[in-house]
């Protein structure tokens, strides 16, 4: 029996800005188990990154507000609702960076340019351990080596602007795993990297997950990226999970029109068929949509789709879909 690690229970959330209110997340019901690997996919603006930041409270409150539901983190056999804790209180700080860690999509905006790699890593390690400076330094260097950083001792004393994009991402991975987290979120970890480096970074993340037996949530807009990386996939669209299942189920027997459209838009080497783009574009986040969030771009739309939000229905083998026509 798989042990629950993190649960999103019917989460709805909004951003309140000068332009208006966005329905950022809607009815998110998702469970992450110990040791599992999950891919969260969807176009930009679908709520993927917000979902990853919720458990460690890295969102600008009170501009961002959860209007419904719970985020339950299971630690020491006890459920803990992270949304009821203070955003920067002791309870969240014990979890953030140690038990739940994150690799961000752009290291240059996540790492300090005026502090060395080593000073940033040592600060994080000492915050969550009893190590002294010397011990923390050696541990940081060993984490850089585990993240396949060449000349780890030299890089320890470098500044991030002295490093290439791939090296900065390796540093982010080293920081992410330095406190042996139970769960690692990787948010678009290969953005702006060339194809060869992308493959190396993804392989490294997968290796580290296996070595440390941690749960992995990989966030991306590209289904091809998650194909060989995760056991399960959740497809997001406009703040809803529209399909969820094993990687084989979602990629080989997709049930939701959006998932099918994503798969058809992936280029392949062994076909003469032209790419089939998804018609239209994702709606403005401030717009109020009734009915299914995808109906304006769907070829199978009915009057019912325009009027009602489809329920998230479980089909055979725990394959879940939010579609009346599935």
User: Residues 129-175: pLDDT tens digits?
Assistant: 999 999 999 999 999 998 889 999 999 999 999 998 888 888 988 99
Q: What's the mean pLDDT in 286-304?
A: 90
Percentage above 90 pLDDT, the chain: 55
The helix (H) or strand (E) run that includes residue 251 is helix 247-252
**Mean pLDDT of the region 92-100:** 90
* Residue that the structure tokens 């991975």 belong to: 173
For 247-273, what is each residue's pLDDT tens digit?
999 999 999 999 999 888 877 666 666
Q: Residue 235 sits in a domain of what CATH number? A: 3.40.50.300
Give the integer Cα–Cα distance in Å for 127 and 67. 32
**Residues of the domain holding 269:** 4-99+181-321
Indicate whether 37 and 132 sit together in one domain.
Answer: no
Mean pLDDT within 273-302: 85
| Confidence at 107, pLDDT banded by 50, 70, 90 | low
CA atoms of 69 and 62, how far apart (whole Å): 17
Strands 100-103, 183-187: pairing kind: parallel
Its pTM stands at: 0.91
Whether residues 137 and 229 share a domain: the answer is no
Statement to judge: residues 150 and 162 lie in one domain: yes
pLDDT of the residue at 270: 65
Count of CB atoms within 10 A of residue 117's CB? Answer: 27
Note the pLDDT tens digit of each residue in 195-228: 888 888 888 889 889 888 899 999 998 888 888 8
In a domain, 104, yes or no: no
Residues 185 and 284 in one domain: yes
Domain co-membership, 248 together with 316: yes
Two tokens at 175?
């920081």
Query: Alpha-carbon distance 319 to 254, whole Å?
Result: 9
* Cα angle, residue 107 at apex, residues 105 and 108 outer, rounded to 5°: 125
Domains identified in the chain, total number: 2
pLDDT the model gives residue 269: 64
Residue 114 has pLDDT above 70, yes or no: yes
232 and 295: one domain?
yes
Between the alpha carbon of residue 198 and those of residues 203, 228, 266, the distances in Å are 9, 13, 17
What's the pLDDT at 202? Answer: 87
In a shared domain, residues 290 and 216 = yes
Question: Is 317 a residue whose pLDDT tops 80?
Answer: yes
For 275-293, what is the mean pLDDT? 84
Confidence at residue 101, expressed as pLDDT on a 0 to 100 scale: 93
């Amino acid at each position: 029996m798989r042990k629950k690690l993190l649960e999103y229970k019917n989460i709805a959330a909004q951003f309140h800005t000068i332009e208006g209110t966005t329905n950022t997340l809607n009815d998110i019901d998702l469970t992450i188990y110990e040791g599992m690997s999950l891919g969260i996919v969807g176009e930009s603006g679908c709520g993927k990154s917000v979902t990853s930041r919720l458990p460690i409270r890295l969102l600008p409150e009170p501009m961002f507000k959860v209007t419904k539901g719970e985020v339950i983190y299971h630690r020491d056999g006890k459920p803990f609702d992270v949304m009821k804790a203070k955003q920067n209180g002791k309870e969240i700080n014990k979890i953030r960076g140690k038990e739940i860690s994150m690799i961000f999509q752009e290291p240059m905006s996540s790492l300090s340019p005026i502090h060395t790699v080593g000073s940033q890593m040592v600060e994080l390690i000492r915050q969550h351990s009893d190590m002294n400076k010397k011990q923390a330094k050696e541990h940081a260097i060993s984490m850089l080596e585990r993240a396949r950083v060449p000349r780890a001792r030299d890089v320890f004393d470098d500044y991030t602007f002295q490093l290439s994009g791939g090296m900065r991402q390796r540093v982010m991975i080293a920081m992410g795993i330095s406190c042996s987290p139970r769960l690692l979120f990787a948010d678009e970890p290969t953005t702006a990297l060339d194809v060869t480096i992308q493959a190396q970074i993804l392989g490294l993340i997968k290796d580290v997950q296996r070595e440390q037996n941690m749960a992995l949530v990989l966030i991306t807009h590209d289904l091809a990226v998650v194909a060989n990386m995760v056991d399960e996939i959740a497809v997001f669209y406009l703040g809803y999970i529209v399909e969820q299942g094993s990687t084989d189920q979602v990629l080989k027997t997709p049930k939701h029109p959006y998932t099918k459209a994503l798969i058809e838009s992936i280029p392949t080497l062994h076909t003469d068929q032209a790419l089939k783009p998804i018609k239209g574009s994702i709606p403005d986040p401030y717009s109020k949509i009734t009915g299914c969030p995808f109906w304006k771009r769907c070829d199978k739309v009915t009057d019912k789709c325009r009027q009602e939000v489809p329920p998230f229905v479980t089909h055979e083998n725990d394959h879940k879909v939010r579609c009346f026509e599935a």
